[in-house]
């Protein structure tokens, strides 16, 4: 069986279209399938729509989360419920064309465990967005040992083996692209055309994107923590040399005590450096705190049509669902 996991937030308008296109494509594959929508705390009629989709075709299932947990966690929820031998993750706004699914499945049948969709165009994003993405991926590449496949979006197929590993990772600060890459296995890209947004608007807010970028960096590298020791070493060495210079100057030219501006500037500069380094430690510490609390990754308000084997997270889900 094939499972399709789709996170949705306020997507009521496109869902019927999505269902039609999915059915057309998936029925052509000649194998059983299920679609698991994860409603990430929508405020519009998405949940009602999902119920209707399920009534029309029970292969469309849904998990309604109790509030907005963010896309990365919604994807994680979808994968926990996925029962198939492979799972496909895609967006619910029709930007990831269902028609590209057969190409992903073909590569999986060839023996690849991770098949990621490669965006052949990025025109659907604003210039600023593209620029920021470029900076982020550049920084990520420099700092992290996990290699992200170039141009890979969030549209991908993963084998059961990968799903099982992901389901065992219950970190809260989730950066799926990195996690998929971290798991490893044989992977390959398949190009696809990103469609324009159905209603022209990204569901991400800038603040969320920033948070997401920070999560990505912080969960995949500790370099920002370590640079401060090197910087400290360097600054101390400079201070030592400067002290020597002052000493020699005093011995040769006699005592002279200028340098009030130098003093102020260096005090301000180094308190700035210290505050930044403290802030970086805080970023990591805050995340350690979040993880240590061990709260469930997500809370399910309602399950529509999903059932059967609850999988390894059974106890958590029993607590989670009313
Ligand atoms: N989404 C979600 N929770 C969120 C934000 C987005 O489940 O907090 C879903 C959204 O409904 C869509 C997918 O994630 O199906 C991708 O979101 P969007 O299209 O806004 O992102 P972008 O196209 O900018 O990557
Ligand atoms: Mg989109």
How far apart are the CA of 14 and the centre of ligand 2, in A? 12
The answer to whether 78 touches 7, Cβ cutoff 8 Å, is yes
C-alpha 256/C-alpha 222 separation (Å) is 45
Residues with CB under 5 A from ligand 2 (ion): 91, 93, 95
pLDDT tens-digit readout, 248-287: 888 888 776 677 777 888 888 888 888 888 888 888 888 8
How far apart are the CA of 276 and the centre of ligand 1, in A? 32
C-alpha 168/C-alpha 54 separation (Å) is 28
Token pair of 234 as six digits: 């360097």
C-alpha 182/C-alpha 140 separation (Å) is 13
Atom number in ligand 1 closest to CA 125 = 24
Mean pLDDT along residues 115-144: 81
- With tokens 């995340």, the residue in question is 287
b/e map of 11-41 (b: 16 or more CB within 10 Å)? bbebbeebbebbbebbeeeeeebbbbbbbbb
The answer to whether 300 touches 320, Cβ cutoff 8 Å, is yes
pLDDT tens-digit readout, 177-225: 888 888 888 888 888 888 777 666 777 778 888 888 888 888 888 888 8
Mutate-to-test residue for ligand 1 from 70, 71, 176, highest number of ligand atoms within 8 A of CB: 71
Provide Rg for the chain, Cα atoms.
Answer: 25
C-alpha 107/C-alpha 143 separation (Å) is 31
Q: What is the pTM of this model?
A: 0.77
**Which residues share a beta bridge with 87?**
3, 158
Top-confidence residue, 112 or 222: 112
Mean pLDDT along residues 144-149: 79
Take atom 17 of ligand 1 and give the residue whose Cα is closest: 203
How far apart are the CA of 154 and the centre of ligand 2, in A? 10
Ligand nearest to the CA of 202: 1
- Give the model's pLDDT for residue 317: 45
How far apart are the CA of 170 and the centre of ligand 2, in A? 25
């Amino acid at each position: 069986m094939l499972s399709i996991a789709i996170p949705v937030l306020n997507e009521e308008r496109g869902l019927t279209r999505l269902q039609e296109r999915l059915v057309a494509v998936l029925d052509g594959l000649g194998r059983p399938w299920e679609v698991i929508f994860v409603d990430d705390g929508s405020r519009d009629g998405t949940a009602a729509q999902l119920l209707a989709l399920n009534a029309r075709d029970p292969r469309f299932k849904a998990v309604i989360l109790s509030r907005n947990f963010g896309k990365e966690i919604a994807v994680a929820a979808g994968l926990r419920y996925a029962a198939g031998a492979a799972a496909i993750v895609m967006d619910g706004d029709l930007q990831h064309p269902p028609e590209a699914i057969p190409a992903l499945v073909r590569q999986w049948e060839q023996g690849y465990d991770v098949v990621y969709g490669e965006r052949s165009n990025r025109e659907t994003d604003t210039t600023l967005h593209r620029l920021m993405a470029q900076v982020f991926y550049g920084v990520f590449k420099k700092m992290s040992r996990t290699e992200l496949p170039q141009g890979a979006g969030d549209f991908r197929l993963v084998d059961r083996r990968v799903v099982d590993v992901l389901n065992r990772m219950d970190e809260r600060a989730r950066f799926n692209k990195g996690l998929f890459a971290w798991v490893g296995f044989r992977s390959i890209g398949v190009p696809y055309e990103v469609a324009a947004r159905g209603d022209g608007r990204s569901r991400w807010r800038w603040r969320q994107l920033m948070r997401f970028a920070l999560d990505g960096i912080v969960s995949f590298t500790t370099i920002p923590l370590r640079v401060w020791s090197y910087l400290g070493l360097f600054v101390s060495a400079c201070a030592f040399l400067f002290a020597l210079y002052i000493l020699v100057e005093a011995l040769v030219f006699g005592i002279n005590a200028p340098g009030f501006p130098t003093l102020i500037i260096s005090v301000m500069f180094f308190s700035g450096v210290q505050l930044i380094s403290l802030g970086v430690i805080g970023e990591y510490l805050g995340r350690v705190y979040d993880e240590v609390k061990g709260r469930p990754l997500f809370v399910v308000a309602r399950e529509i049509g999903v059932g059967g084997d609850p999988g390894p997270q059974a106890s958590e889900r029993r607590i989670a669902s009313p």
